[in-house]
Chain A
Amino acid sequence: MKKKSLLILLVFLLVFLPTRVYAADGKSYDYDGYTYNYWWNAVESPAAFQLDTVIDEADMGGIKVQGFNDVATSEDGHIFLVDTLESRVNITDQNGSFIKSLKVIRDADNKIVIDESGAQLVFNAPEGVFYQEKNKELYIADTGAERIVVLDGSDYTLKRVIKKPENMAGVSEFRPSKIVVDSADRIYVVVQSSYEGIIELNPDGTFSRYFGVNSPSVNFLDYFWKSISSDRQKEQMKKTFAPAFNNVALDSDGFVYAVTFDAAAEHMVFRLNSGGKNVLREEGNTFVIGDIHKMNRNEQSQFVDVAVKDYGTYAVLDKYKGRIFLYDFDGQLLNAFGSLGKTKGSFSMPTGITWSGDNLVVTDSALKCAYILKPTDFGKAALQASKSYYYGDWDEALVQFDNILKLNANYEVAYVGIGKNYLMKDDYKKAMYYFKLGNNREFYSKAYNGHRGEVLQDNFGIIAVIFLAFISLILYTEVRYHKKESGHK
């Protein structure tokens, strides 16, 4: 009797205790993820990342933090965080433990550098930072002082200072905000609200050109009024400027990724080739615009930063809804997660994002902290699948896609990936099955073409017989008809 009541109690506990178990280490934070399906409906999905570590003032060894505005990482695991209001660059290791804070620049002999006016060389409201692996150099966009400071990547002593180039053309002010340096040492500088494009500097610091075209989307009504108005009227009208780029990143092939959150821009994310043309692939269910708002254009996502993995998977950070969107190199949305708020794990004014290995580092200027986000099981599988797929490692990709489908059966990207794998092996029936689940009509058609060819080939005898029978039937009726006609005469 006692046993029975115990059993009932056990069942009762199992049923009514909360079944959703959170990681109990006290630092993880679960996000709710989603993707968009073929019909642009949001579909729930596990989030690809979870919060691992919060880096805030408590970790900074007594240094005040007023909000981080940009972040960069190096391959050996250092994280560089820019604090604009405090005019500091704080350096931590990959787990968020404090290493060093930079404010006053010293030279190789450990002496404080004096600039030409006799004052100490001190950061003045820097907004951007970039670590170049090739030369092991740390580039800091010292916005307030209108210069770029280049430091040595190991002991952080001054290497050189890049000021406004004398041969610079155009009307843009030289207030470097965000910065990347490619493997040929060309420096790409973003100046906020400059409509001329990204400034490209030669390795020696001279001006090369404005880079990248960001075309405004033209409103038909404006176009109509402009086309019928006189020159004097046109002078009175508001000018349409090319939208400004807001942030840049670099991928492993040397292409510059840029983002904008200007509402007038036609595209939001750019992959610029050496000619400055946008070559971003947008082959997914949706365009690379973040959230889809079928009704209201003003509610579109506002991207403040982009981080690119070496296999072309990139994450963009949206400040409007505090979301991170993860796209693969084809422009397919892998996952979206995150929200605005004041609590741990949510964002208030997100400013920068970058990869640190497979982790993401996100900075927030209003919450005065940076998050290290760690991929979840789903995220690991998604990244791994994306990587294997990019490098053509098909068997590995198939395994990972299968893993993903066990965690998230709504994931169209995985179905399409598996389908492509079977299509390569000429297993058309299976490929068709998966393409149908993944809602990919283009590849379904390719698989069906193969399948139809096989069916026709296998049943060629029967089809030929039917065809011949049909022809002879027509011939027979024609002959009989003519015989009848001539008989009447």
Chain B
Amino acid sequence: MKNKILKEQLHYLKYAMFHPFDGFYEIKYRGKGSALIASVILILYGIMQCVSYQYTGFVMNMNAIFQMNSVSIFISALSVFLLFTVSNWTITTLFNGKGNMRDIYIVLGYSVVPMLLLNGLTVFISNFVITEEIIILRSLQGIGVVWFVFILLAGLCIIHEYSFAVNIKTLLATAVAAFIIVFLGILFFSLMERMYYFVMSVAQEMVRRIN
């Protein structure tokens, strides 16, 4: 039974890649999506970023591998998606979007798949190319990005029941919201740091006076 559900969900993952409008309709309104699968895809994407940092062929790879930090690569790859999910959700709730956070998360996770696969392919082939052939691989990567953007736009249109123009507007607003979130985050942490040092110095002062 469980196996069958999983098989069906994977079928709709593939379906959404090639027919995003119908696919995401089924996923939202008939419950064919899975946040678990989306999470797995995003984690795989984070791992793929680390892999491509290290294992891209020497001709294409400009990274200083000896100073690679896989944890920071992984986190910075995923935090962008999390930030997008949260800020898109905050904006679309204000703009009468029908999608909830889970829907946005699933759309995002699912639409990463073509980019993930093409990146993997590029990393593999890049070990067998010379400088003149790099442009082929770059265009392959470009196709992955365009595909990702297309599915994402289509998916967001469907789950929020937006027209294309409204969708673009909310995406711009999303960028602003993301910027504000990051700004507030930095503000919060720096304030916390100052408060910590303030409390610490007061405490130290007290300890010294009492002694």
The answer on a CB contact under 8 Å between B58 and A444 is: yes
* Chain B 50-82 near chain A by CB (<8 Å), digits 1 or 0: 000000001100101000000000000000000
* Chain B 121-142 near chain A by CB (<8 Å), digits 1 or 0: 0000000101110000000000
- A130-138, A338-346, A396-404, A445-453 - the one binding chain B: A445-453
How many whole Å from B119's CB to the nearest CB in chain A? 20
The answer on a CB contact under 8 Å between A442 and B131 is: yes
Does A441 touch B at the CB level, under 8 Å?
A: yes
Chain A residues whose C-beta falls within 8 Å of the C-beta of B128 in the assembled complex: 452
- In whole angstroms, how far apart are the Cα atoms of A436 and B64 in the complex? 12
Does A39 touch B at the CB level, under 8 Å?
A: yes
User: In chain A, what residue has the closest Cβ to B63?
Assistant: A39
Interface residues on B, range: under 10
- In whole angstroms, how far apart are the Cα atoms of A449 and B128 in the complex? 9
Chain B residues whose C-beta falls within 8 Å of the C-beta of A448 in the assembled complex: 59, 130
- In whole angstroms, how far apart are the Cα atoms of A11 and B157 in the complex? 79
The answer on a CB contact under 8 Å between B64 and A445 is: no
The answer on a CB contact under 8 Å between B130 and A436 is: no
User: In chain A, what residue has the closest Cβ to B59?
Assistant: A445
* Chain A 388-419 near chain B by CB (<8 Å), digits 1 or 0: 00000000000000000000000000000000
A residues 429-449 with Cβ under 8 Å of B?
A: 436, 441-442, 444-446, 448-449
- In whole angstroms, how far apart are the Cα atoms of A444 and B62 in the complex? 13
- In whole angstroms, how far apart are the Cα atoms of A39 and B128 in the complex? 24
How many whole Å from B57's CB to the nearest CB in chain A? 9
Given contacts A436-B58, A448-B59, contact A441 B131 (CB under 8 A): yes
* Chain A 160-181 near chain B by CB (<8 Å), digits 1 or 0: 0000000000000000000000
Given contacts A449-B130, A452-B128, A452-B130, contact A444 B59 (CB under 8 A): yes
Contact of B58 among A441, A446, A449, A452 (CB under 8 A): A441
Chain B residues whose C-beta falls within 8 Å of the C-beta of A452 in the assembled complex: 128, 130
- In whole angstroms, how far apart are the Cα atoms of A442 and B130 in the complex? 9
- In whole angstroms, how far apart are the Cα atoms of A154 and B143 in the complex? 74
* Chain A 75-112 near chain B by CB (<8 Å), digits 1 or 0: 00000000000000000000000000000000000000
The answer on a CB contact under 8 Å between A39 and B131 is: no
- In whole angstroms, how far apart are the Cα atoms of A436 and B58 in the complex? 8
Chain A residues whose C-beta falls within 8 Å of the C-beta of B130 in the assembled complex: 445-446, 448-449, 452
- In whole angstroms, how far apart are the Cα atoms of A446 and B132 in the complex? 10
- In whole angstroms, how far apart are the Cα atoms of A445 and B62 in the complex? 13
B residues 143-186 with Cβ under 8 Å of A?
A: none
- In whole angstroms, how far apart are the Cα atoms of A53 and B64 in the complex? 42
Given contacts A441-B131, A442-B131, A448-B130, contact A39 B59 (CB under 8 A): no
The answer on a CB contact under 8 Å between B58 and A39 is: no
Chain B residues whose C-beta falls within 8 Å of the C-beta of A445 in the assembled complex: 59, 130-132
- In whole angstroms, how far apart are the Cα atoms of A102 and B101 in the complex? 88
* Chain A 16-44 near chain B by CB (<8 Å), digits 1 or 0: 00000000000000000000001100000
The answer on a CB contact under 8 Å between B64 and A441 is: no
- In whole angstroms, how far apart are the Cα atoms of A444 and B130 in the complex? 8
User: In chain A, what residue has the closest Cβ to B61?
Assistant: A441
How many whole Å from A440's CB to the nearest CB in chain B? 10
Most chain B C-beta atoms within 10 Å of own C-beta, residue among A441, A444, A446:
A441
- In whole angstroms, how far apart are the Cα atoms of A445 and B132 in the complex? 9
A residues 113-130 with Cβ under 8 Å of B?
A: none
- In whole angstroms, how far apart are the Cα atoms of A449 and B129 in the complex? 8
- In whole angstroms, how far apart are the Cα atoms of A449 and B131 in the complex? 9
User: In chain A, what residue has the closest Cβ to B128?
Assistant: A452
Of the A-B pairs whose beta carbons lie under 8 Å apart in the complex, a sample of 20, sorted by A's number, is A38-B64, A39-B64, A436-B58, A441-B58, A441-B59, A441-B62, A441-B131, A442-B131, A444-B58, A444-B59, A445-B59, A445-B130, A445-B131, A445-B132, A446-B130, A448-B59, A448-B130, A449-B130, A452-B128, A452-B130
Nearest 5 CB-CB pairs, A to B? A445-B131, A445-B130, A449-B130, A39-B64, A445-B59
A441-B58, A448-B59, A452-B128 known, 9 other contacts, Cβ within 8 Å: A38-B64, A39-B64, A441-B59, A441-B131, A445-B130, A445-B132, A448-B130, A449-B130, A452-B130
